[in-house]
Structure 1
Amino acid sequence: MTARMTNPSLIVPDALRPLLDVTKVLNNAGVPQLTLDLIRLCVSQVNGRPIDIPSHTGEGAERRPTDARLLRMDRWRQDPCYSAAERAALALAESASRLSEGEHTVPDAVWDEAARHYDERELGVLVLQIGLVNLWNCVNVTTRQVPGDYS
């Protein structure tokens, strides 16, 4: 696959820095980094985006995933290695990323389960993380960006 264009975040003046700043804020907002990484992978799966684990968990061999949860995303509902809080975050990410599938795509049961594990600020972090990953997926799919190619 060849990209249709240079990544828009690189050619629209002053667009990339604020997006990276939001990412930094979310990464330092108190939700475990692994949970944020799991959300990145889950949302990308929902969007049919090829999953490039190194790009979602940091660049370079020193950040290659060592946690089995990052490699078992296809069975997060059943695999006992995921905590109840991680499952709740993943269910929220999956529901919130399926907006075209119905008016009420985040059922109360999904929201309530997430709220059992996360306080309001943490829920805000999860929702913003889900939205940000969906934004990147939309940009990358629309312009056919190649996973791992950041030129």
Structure 2
Amino acid sequence: MTERMKLGSLAREAYRAMAGLDRFVADSTLPQPIVNLVNLRASQINGCVYCVDLHSADAKKAGESDARLHAVVVWQESPFFTEQERAALAFTEAATRLSTDDITDEIWGRAAAVFDEQQLAALVVAVASINAWNRVGVATRLTPESHA
């Protein structure tokens, strides 16, 4: 599959603005391992090969185990995730699949029970940001570097 365009060079200001969202999340108290899981799960749902590759590699570099990385796609059935991670993954799925699932009071409450308000705000921004990046990646067919 051929990349359609280099949007970063054509829309530099938009990329900078989106990078600002990422900086907000990185500077928040939301734990980085959770940000990595959120980024990976949303990217899996959205089918963004570039972002799946990038965020699984980032998580691996940060010390994430292969078992947990492979289990993100089936997190509900996996014993590898904490309650806080499960709440973040449930919220990520609901907020990513807005057309099929709503962010119910149960899902919101589950996240609010394990994150303080500042962390919950960062989670909302993290999910919104990765979904925007996924849409850029999918629309332009952003391609990861070959690992062959």
TM over 0.5: yes
Report the AA paired with residue 110 of structure 1: I
Which SS does the other structure have where 1:20 is aligned?
A: helix
Report the AA paired with residue 19 of structure 2: L
Whole-Å Cα distance in 2 between the matches of residues 100 and 110 of structure 1? 16
CA RMSD of aligned residues (A): 2.3
1:33 aligns with 2:28: no
Pick the aligned partner of 1:127 from 121, 124, 129: 124
- CA 1:51/1:69 → structure 2, altered by over 3 Å: closer, same or farther? farther
CA contact (8 A) 2:50 2:137 kept: no
Pick the aligned partner of 1:116 from 109, 113, 116: 113
Identity %: 33
Whole-Å Cα distance in 1 between the matches of residues 43 and 104 of structure 2? 20
TM-score, length-normalised on structure 1? Answer: 0.83
Whole-Å Cα distance in 2 between the matches of residues 18 and 58 of structure 1? 24
5+ residue gaps, structure 1, are none
CA contact (8 A) 1:54 1:63 kept: no
TM-score, length-normalised on structure 2? Answer: 0.85
Query: What do the CA deviations read for 1:78-135 (whole angstroms, capped 9, x no partner)?
Result: 2221000100000000000011225xx1111111101100111111100100000000
More helix by share: 2
Instruction: Look up the match of 1:81.
Output: 80
Q: How many residues align?
A: 144
5+ residue gaps, structure 2, are none
Structure 1 consecutive aligned stretches of length 4 or more whose deviation exceeds 4 Å: 51-54
